[in-house]
Structure 1
């Protein structure tokens, strides 16, 4: 079977695949001139050298001679995304289905052996495109800030009222990081350009690789069901469940990527309608902030509607409980004649006890 032709995307800006909530934060942070340079220099001075030394000693660096198949797929993903010089790629012995991007100044991509064992070539290209998306968006810079805050959190919690502030910042950064994963999924899809392949990759991540027992339509229906119920209890439970998660669930990610494809945005990029890197410096912070605000506005409107329904139902329930209680109190307040008094007051009444017993 011939391999499908992938459309190259020359000079594509990472803004083409970034989720609105992710893109708004990134455009704002990119305006802070020098901020990323300082972080990169601090990280590259010692920490990244230590990580790379650890990988050189314990993992395998992929190239044309080692893991040549994986490296070829990596180059193909980089060519479609016009990534230029590719970060180093390492394969490490780990049975979990996972991959990661590490480093700020000179990022490296690490694939676990467990991921290579269960993913076919197309699925690996999607995963590699996902990791390249993180690199090209510069997500590692801001994840480092999150990691620093998490490390400092135990100290800041000891400061009066400090816990509330740091928890709010951490919650916001974790929410951004989850959205950055949705952005990287879009980059992975653009690198491979086969939506059914991206879906298969998410199905394998969710099931531990047992895709032969899964159905794509049912899997996507499950993703829709996760978001279908707008009951306020489910909305709050979803928020609490993911509050400390760095990644969205695999099922949810599959549904989000499917919605992006169906929105027409994916096809528009393939048709050449996407922002270019040369225009990144002119990206409007207010426009991206507005896009992010619209996204969260839709989320909050669903919450608002759900709250309205809950309070309406609660009001009806309280009204019914009030009416029932009033009826019971009224019954208790009315005097009830005793049987012997009824017989004296009503001498003509039949004495039912004089007849045959009732069964």
Structure 2
């Protein structure tokens, strides 16, 4: 099933991922050489030793923060399972299976106090997905499948691999490169979400819900008009805000799902439509 993930991975991520990896390796090599050369120097060496000490403390902080976060999650959030919201849990299990994850991520539902969000994390080696109550309450089952699929996509596509992310870490110092890579990953995960939702209308409307914030109104929202708003984004400041953002604009994400459909030679309107799973894979190969 890894081949399916590769087909759903956007062309831009396939470009940015190796660039991040190569740049990260080169910068790490340069950093190690610099530290080795200056380690014994009276002034520079003393400063480097302080930085190394800070780095060790930062790693310890990350470790203990992971333990604390896991404690808060299990102590305050609702763990999905066969006996706890089984229908929602089944969506996660089926989605993880369909995209080839060896283990189903531990999934929590938590009280977001009205905030629409969902995210995936790796905590001390464990895979987790977190869903907010507001999003689940406002969305339909198909929309929830899209959201779950998006978050599972981060795990399946290796976006949260701690070792690879460590290697790529210095590449984030290159202006705008890390943001561009992050946006390409979001498009990939939108593809995975649509693949699992098996409903293009639900996939688009799930993204629109993040902007609308109202389940009752979102059901009648005109996605054509929403996508058309992209033409009213000021060119210069639209470009500047985009290149510094980790997520693409919602108008572009909705349009990317449309482009995936049209790329397969089919015209899709905003009317609801459910398609066989075999139709999905090639549609997203060239998503922007």
Structure 1 equivalent of residue 36 of structure 2: none
Equivalent runs, 1:331-346 vs 2, <5 Å: none
For the pair shown, which has the larger CA radius of gyration, 1 or 2? 1
Structure 2 equivalent of residue 215 of structure 1: 222
Equivalent runs, 1:207-286 vs 2, <5 Å: 207-209=212-214, 210-223=217-230, 225=231, 234-264=234-264, 270=278
1:131 maps onto 2:122 in alignment: no
Matched-pair contact (CA < 8 Å) for 1:126–1:189: yes
- The answer for unaligned runs of 5 or more in structure 2 is 29-58, 267-274
Structure 1 equivalent of residue 272 of structure 2: none
Other structure's SS at 1:63 match = coil
Other structure's SS at 1:139 match = coil
Structure 1 equivalent of residue 11 of structure 2: 20
TM-score (norm. length: structure 1): 0.57
- The answer for unaligned runs of 5 or more in structure 1 is 1-9, 36-41, 150-164, 228-233, 275-290, 296-359
Distance 1:48 1:239 in 2: 36
Structure 2 equivalent of residue 72 of structure 1: 90
Distance 1:102 1:138 in 2: 11
Q: How far apart are 1:206 and its partner, in Å?
A: 1.2
Matched-pair contact (CA < 8 Å) for 2:20–2:178: no
Other structure's SS at 1:66 match = coil
Deviation track 1:164-211 (CA, whole Å, cap 9, x = no partner) reads x97x62521012111211110000011111111101111211100231
Distance 1:213 1:59 in 2: 32
Pick closer, same or farther for the CA change 1:272–1:250 going to 2, 3 Å. Answer: closer
TM-score (norm. length: structure 2): 0.70
Structure 2 equivalent of residue 198 of structure 1: 203
Q: How far apart are 1:260 and its partner, in Å?
A: 1.8
Matched-pair contact (CA < 8 Å) for 1:206–1:251: no
Structure 1 equivalent of residue 44 of structure 2: none
Distance 2:212 2:167 in 1: 29
Equivalent runs, 1:152-191 vs 2, <5 Å: 169-191=174-196
Matched-pair contact (CA < 8 Å) for 1:129–1:189: yes
1:113 maps onto 2:133 in alignment: yes
Q: How far apart are 1:60 and its partner, in Å?
A: 1.1
Q: How many residues align?
A: 238
Matched-pair contact (CA < 8 Å) for 2:151–2:189: yes
Other structure's SS at 2:174 match = helix
Matched-pair contact (CA < 8 Å) for 2:13–2:181: yes
Please, which of 121, 136, 145 is the counterpart of residue 102 of structure 1?
121
Pick closer, same or farther for the CA change 1:238–1:272 going to 2, 3 Å. Answer: closer
Matched-pair contact (CA < 8 Å) for 1:96–1:115: yes
Distance 1:123 1:272 in 2: 16
Backbone CA RMSD of aligned residues: 3.6
Distance 2:210 2:280 in 1: 31
Q: How far apart are 1:45 and its partner, in Å?
A: 4.7
Matched-pair contact (CA < 8 Å) for 1:171–1:244: yes
